[in-house]
Amino acid sequence: MAYEFKVVRSVEFHETDMAGIVHYSNFFRYMEVAEHGFFRSLGFSVVDHTQPRIGWPRVHAACDYLQPLRFEDQVEIHLLVSEMKSKALSYVFRFRKLNAAPPLEVARGKLTVVCVTHETDGKMKATPIPKVVADKIEVAPADLLK
């Protein structure tokens, strides 16, 4: 059972904006990269090829920005599972700039995703998280989520 995952990225030029810092929308892309890495670490892909196809649309996303990130900064994205319901998962994310001494927390994020099936008419319908997935995931200890 797993409740966390870490990934480190180097900030890329196209992720910056004219203010010289990572555009705030990109933190949500970083969160998703960590989420998908978490799934792969469990032996799954978020893109599932069974029928009916499972998907994980977002229902809530949030981020608190503490410090800017700049080009070539090394940022660690630390995913923690904060809640698990029958059809939904919530994560928190800690962003740390590693090329600072000591490493500096630069942002905190949250994401809630719902497990859905893609119906043949293109609609999405909430569905219980498959047991094979749910059995591998647990909520992180409370003190890590503070």
List residues near a second copy by CB under 8 A: 12-14, 16-21, 23-26, 28-29, 32-33, 36, 40, 45-47, 55, 57-65, 68, 70-72, 122, 124
Closer CB to a second copy, 11 or 129, in the complex: 11
d(CA 69, CA 95): 10
CB of 39 to a second copy, least distance (A): 10
Question: How many residues in total does the chain contain?
Answer: 146
Residue 79 forms beta bridges with which residues? 5, 93
Closer CB to a second copy, 2 or 60, in the complex: 60
For strands 58-65 and 74-84, give the pairing: unpaired
DSSP, collapsed to helix, strand or coil, labels residue 143 as helix
Residue 84 forms beta bridges with which residues? 89
d(CA 38, CA 51): 22
CB of 76 to a second copy, least distance (A): 17
Chain centroid, CA 102 distance in Å: 24
CB of 64 to a second copy, least distance (A): 5
- Record the tokens describing residue 21, joined without a space: 């810092």
Closer CB to a second copy, 57 or 141, in the complex: 57
Closer CB to a second copy, 124 or 139, in the complex: 124
CB of 141 to a second copy, least distance (A): 25
CB of 46 to a second copy, least distance (A): 7
Residue with tokens 């200890």: 141
Closer CB to a second copy, 40 or 87, in the complex: 40
